[in-house]
Every structure is written in C-alpha cells, then in structure tokens.
Structure 1
Amino acid sequence: MDEHALPAERFEADRAHLRAVAYRMLGSLSEAEDAVQDAWLRVSRADVSDVENITGWLTTIVARVCLNVLRARKSRPEESYEADAVPDVAAGPQERVDPEQEAVLAESVGLALLVVLDTLAPDERLAFVLHDMFAVPFDQIGPMIERTPAAARQLASRARRRVKGSSPAPAADLARRRPVVDAFLTAIRGGDFETLVTLLHPDVVLNADRWVIPTPEPVVLDGGHTVAKAAMAAIGRAQFTGVALVDGQVGLAMAPYGRLVIVLCFTIVDGAITEIDVIADPDRIAGIEIAALDAQDRL
C-alpha cells in the first residue's frame, strides 16, 4: 500500500460528516451513501502527503460528486412521484434504506428545508449547503462551481431567500396557526382520532384534488368525524410530512426523499380547522411557494 495514500480508518473518521453533507445536497440517504462511497473510491489511492486539511479536502470531493448527481438530475429529470404510488414511501432505489430511518433523518434536518433545497439549481444548492450549513468559505466554494467567491456568495444569498420565503404571514398570525397544524400532524402520526376530532370544526370541509387518491373527480368531504377518518388513513404518509410555510401560511408538505408530492393548506378560525385543501396536482404544486418555517433554527 502507498504510504502516502489515505488510510481507510482516517476516511471512516469523517464518514458521518461526509454523509451529512451529501444528504443535504441530495435529499436521499441511499444516494448520500452512494456519493460517500464514490468519494472513497476516488481518494483511496490518492497521495495526501501535501493535504493539510483532510476533512476539508474530503468535503470538497463529496460535494463535487453530489454536484454531478444534481446536474444529471436536471438534465434527465425523473418522473415525479405519483401520489398513488406513495402509500408510505416512494418506490425506487431508496428501498435499500429503512423508511423509518430516512424519515427520522428528514425530520432532524427539516423536511420543508429539504423540499426547498430540491427546487434550487445545483450550483445554488452547493453554495448554500456548504456555506450556510457547514461554514465552508466562499473562496473554497467558488472553484468547485467554476465561479468567483463573490458569485458563489450571490448564489448562496439567492438560495437563502428561497429557504425563508418571500412573503410569510405576520409572525403573530403564524404563532396562532402553528400549534393547531402541529397538533393535527401529531394526532395523525400517533393515531389519536379523538384529539384529531377536537382540532376540527364540526362543519369542516376537506377538498382533495383528483391526484391525491387518485380519482376521476376531486373529492369533497365534510364533517369532523368524516374528515378525521380520512386523515387517519394517511398515517403511513405522515412520517414523510412536515410543517412548512405554504404560500406564506402554516401548512403541511409531504415529501418522501425530499421530493414534494402533496401539500395541505388549512383555514383556521378561532383555533379550529374549518377547511383543508389537499393538493397533489403537479401543475398546482409547481405554483406553490414552500419555505422552511424553522429555517433560522436549522441553519
């Protein structure tokens, strides 16, 4: 073995960090694992005798691997996950990863944040993730994307604005609505039917477009118990659902592996949910601004 090559033990010491970088770049744990392994294959025989900061060097390599993956996605976009194909998780290569593990990781990072990151251009995502989440300086980021440090800074700033959203509702309004939406999601995840009913107005109306189930026509349900029963049927999907800013208001976003497939918008009056709009139509979702409600806490 080359005495100047990177020891496997040294790489393993940074694996958790590198996986964290790759996951935020790609939004999929299995793809992140693949990116880290690809990086190892690239560096395992490299001469590191002149490398002063091994962790920084490895971070750069993993980021470049992820950038190539993101650019390939943009040039050959995969078909969007269809709502009826996502009873618990989306089908695909991610099946190699435990769905519960994937959901826990998404929750820890912030599901809405992952959704917003998925809407960014590859260079924007790299600049934002490396600088805002891992404190990599722009003079190191610029060369990765063949930009000047100033240009990389602009990309990160543009991404930051997307993450925060352009026009959130007043803070007081968000503070009133957030506990209700949080409790709604918690009740579904916990299978707590009685609590769910108490959150719904007796005359609540649920509107679901035809992509949600799917059905030939949109579905309209009314009445607290009826809507609660329908909501409880989505208990499997709830693990990939998180609170987000939906066009500036507190709502829910369902996004397995960071890919947005369903949005829930709420009308709340006097602390009770009076209307729920469930949207899965790709064209409608494309026109909705999703932002990370807890962006400042996540970064």
Structure 2
Amino acid sequence: MQRRWGKGVPIAQRGPGWTYRPDDAPPSVYGPHQPGIVTPHLTHALLTAYDLDGADPREVLEHWTKEAETRHAQGQTVTLGLGPAVLPSPRLKPLPHFHGDALDPRRCGGDLAVLIQADDPPEPLEGLRPRWQRRGARRGRGALGFHDGTLNLKRPRDFDRHVWVTGNDHTGMVGGTYLVVRDIHVQPTWHTLKDGEQEQIIGRDKRTGAPLTGTRLFDAPILDQLPPDAHIRVAAPRTAHVAILRRGYDTPEGLLFLAFMADPRRQFTPLMQRLAEHDALHAHTQHRGSAIFAIPPGAQRNSFIAQPLLD
C-alpha cells in the first residue's frame, strides 16, 4: 500500500508553536530535517546497522540519499545515521553500562544506520552487509499491553529545545539530532502479573490508558499521587528533568526503543540511570541491544546526507 501524503503545513508555520500535528507533506531528503523523526509515525519499521568494512562512507551515503528520495515518493520515510567511528563527537560517546543490561554485541553498534518506516513491511537498502537488523510494528497497545507515547514531546518549541541540534556541535549537525536505540526484551515475569499489579507499575489504567489519577487517555498525571516507582512518574520530564522524543515499535520479544535528542550525554544517560535505579518496570525488562547514531540534517540540492560532515 502506498501512502498518500496530505498537503501538510510546515511545522514552523502552525501558529505560535504550542500546537502540533505531524507534517503530512511528502517527505524529502532536501529540507531542514530528515524525514522519519517528526513526520507521521507509520506502522512498520526496519532499522539496519552496517559496518563499512573499508567502503567509502561518502559513496555509500550519496547512493543512499538518492535511494531514500525514491523511497519517499513511494510513501516510506528513510532516515540515515552515522556511528561514532564515522563521526567522532563527544555526543556520540558510547553509552555507559546501566544496571540490568544484558547486551549482546551482535545487536550493538554500527558505522551507519538506516531507519525505514512504512505502512507495509519495508525492504532494506542495498550496498553494504548488515551488522544487525531489527523489525518492529505499531499496534493498538504496546508490548506491555498499555497505550504508549501519551506523554511524548508534541510541540515545535519542545523539538527545538530537546530534539534538534542548535549549536555547540559540528556545524554540519545543526538541524540534525541523535538517535539512541535500545532493543528491549519484556521478561516473562511481566505476563504473570495481574492487571492491577501492572497498572501500579506503569501508573495507568490498562483498559483506558488514563493515568491512575485521571479518567481519560491524555489527562495529565498528578505525579506525586502515583506510586513513587511508577514508570510514568519516574520517566516524566518533570521528574527526570530531561525530555526525549520516543518513537518505538513492538517486536516479538518486546520493544525496539528509538529515541531522538539533541545530546544523549545530557538527556538519555541520566534518564536511563534514573529508570534503572528507581523504575518498578525495570525488573520486568532487559536491554539486550544498544546503539547510538548521529542523524544529520536534510541535504542541500545536488548534495547528499552528511556531506558537510564528511568533507
């Protein structure tokens, strides 16, 4: 099925900046940001990490940029990323070990990454042999059986503050972002819990998705009235003092967790440390894969993604 993109209004032109709808204009590599970050959250995702194995990243990315634009015309979004070996940067330093991690090296790292999202299961780009590959799909409820993403970033001003690189980085990264990937396995213990026990751990009603302090899905939770180790309380930006843009997909084992942010050192690392130490949900999940990539901004005409960073 080929998606028909609407006549979207650019995010920057939607009023004072406090409201948000995904930009449903046809995606393109030629713009301020790459597609697949704040464009509509499609049904299927394929994330592939590659090792260069001596290949020239400029040639690979030039070819993939052209292929991405072809895929965009077919209703998919393609997002290209660079690993730490390709773009040395303090913001791309390896993540520390977090309590409970059981990382499999075969599910970690990579020199380049390609995230493809579509309404039907997409096929990977060609040109390199994959290091690892993960598929996921969005369902009515997440891998835990609860509505997901209701507290996610939604306002353009929030994206400017927390997601897009605006300075203090490589010049060629301005307008880009960073992607943290965590391959999360939901432990069998989770499925043995009664609904009421799961609700106390998450902080939400399983049937409606409403916080335990509200009645509707998008009601703002009253955090200090939730259990102190409830997931939505521990992870809430007001509690953790950091915010990220989450874009997850369910897998047969759990969750392909994708998070975009301006600086993983200052955003993801402290958030994950807090979750590992204080989140009741952490006892029922295990992180088995991990990676971090720079997502450059969109390309200029007659150029390719990341060219200014590689020149």
Compute the TM-score of the two structures, normalised by the length of structure 1. Answer: 0.31
Q: TM-score, normalised by structure 2?
A: 0.30
More contact order relative to length (CA 8 Å, sep ≥ 6): 2
Q: Computing the radius of gyration over CA atoms, which structure comes out larger, 1 or 2?
A: 1
